[in-house]
Amino acid sequence: MDEKERQFIKRINDKEEEGYRELFRRYYRYLVVVAHRYTQNVDDAEDITQDAIFNLWQSPRTFDSLYGLQHYLYTSVKNGGLRYLDRKRMEQRFADYTLSTSSEEDEDTKEYELMREEIYRRVHEAIDALPEGCRKIFREHLAGKKNEEIAKMFRLSVDTVKNQKKNALRLLRNRLGDLSGLMLLIATQA
């Protein structure tokens, strides 16, 4: 590796803006072409490429060689392209499923959906009425985050997070009545 490449790698490892400008000039078009093989769409290919470069910027990863950097970028874009294809396949399956089931839908199903939407609305209305700290913590809990993650996110102790969740559930039970457990279960699955 010559001195110019060594300096370039150092600027990338040091997260220097000029290094990333040079990386962009050197590799952006090539990486868009790689991503385009997966997306067949220039805008999505550019998004995948930009995400790969941004993720590199955010990553603590460092490189010893130009080859290592190139391999990382290529692999990041390739993986982004594969995730794109997976997402598109899933969207297509969902669209196909929705079309097939909507033609078979009967009155009971429509009534069930209306009830479910009403439950969803009531639960989220009750959650919105929680005190701010309680509400934020409970929303993260509903998003599937663990107590430790929530504590770290809000710079709180794990015990505080547990207490806030317990308070949120108590307030929701009071607001939603006897069906609060069922309502919360249905609403969180929506």
Report d(CA 142, CA 146) in Å as an integer: 10
Predicted pLDDT at 15:
95
Total domains present in the chain: 2
Q: Specify whether 71 is located in the same domain as 137.
A: no
The CATH number of residue 50's host domain is: 1.10.1740
Quote the DSSP letter at residue 65: S
HSE-CB at 131 with a 13 A cutoff on CA atoms is 10
Q: Specify whether 68 is located in the same domain as 149.
A: no
Residue 90 backbone class (left: φ over 0; alpha: ψ -120 to 50; beta: rest) = alpha
Q: What is the pLDDT of residues 131-173, one digit of tens each?
A: 988 888 888 888 888 999 999 998 999 999 999 988 888 887 7
Predicted pLDDT at 139:
84
Q: Specify whether 44 is located in the same domain as 70.
A: yes
Boundaries of domain holding 163 = 106-188
The CATH number of residue 174's host domain is: 1.10.10
Q: Specify whether 133 is located in the same domain as 155.
A: yes
Q: What is the pLDDT of residues 7-44, one digit of tens each?
A: 999 999 999 999 999 999 999 999 999 999 999 999 99
- Is the per-residue pLDDT at 57 higher than 80? yes
Predicted pLDDT at 185:
59
Report d(CA 32, CA 48) in Å as an integer: 8
Q: Specify whether 92 is located in the same domain as 10.
A: yes
Q: Tokens standing for 159?
A: 């015990």
Q: Specify whether 79 is located in the same domain as 162.
A: no
Q: Specify whether 15 is located in the same domain as 88.
A: yes
Report d(CA 94, CA 106) in Å as an integer: 19
The last residue of a domain, from among 45, 66, 98: 98
- Is the per-residue pLDDT at 188 higher than 60? no
Q: What is the DSSP string of 90-141?
A: HHHHHHHHHHHHHTT--HHHHHHHHHHHHHHHHHHHHHHTS-HHHHHHHHHH
Report which of 64, 67, 181 is spatially closest to residue 126, judged by C-alpha positions. Answer: 181
Q: Specify whether 124 is located in the same domain as 161.
A: yes
As a whole number, the mean pLDDT across the chain is 85
Q: Specify whether 40 is located in the same domain as 91.
A: yes
The last residue of a domain, from among 98, 129, 146: 98
Predicted pLDDT at 113:
74
The last residue of a domain, from among 70, 98, 126: 98
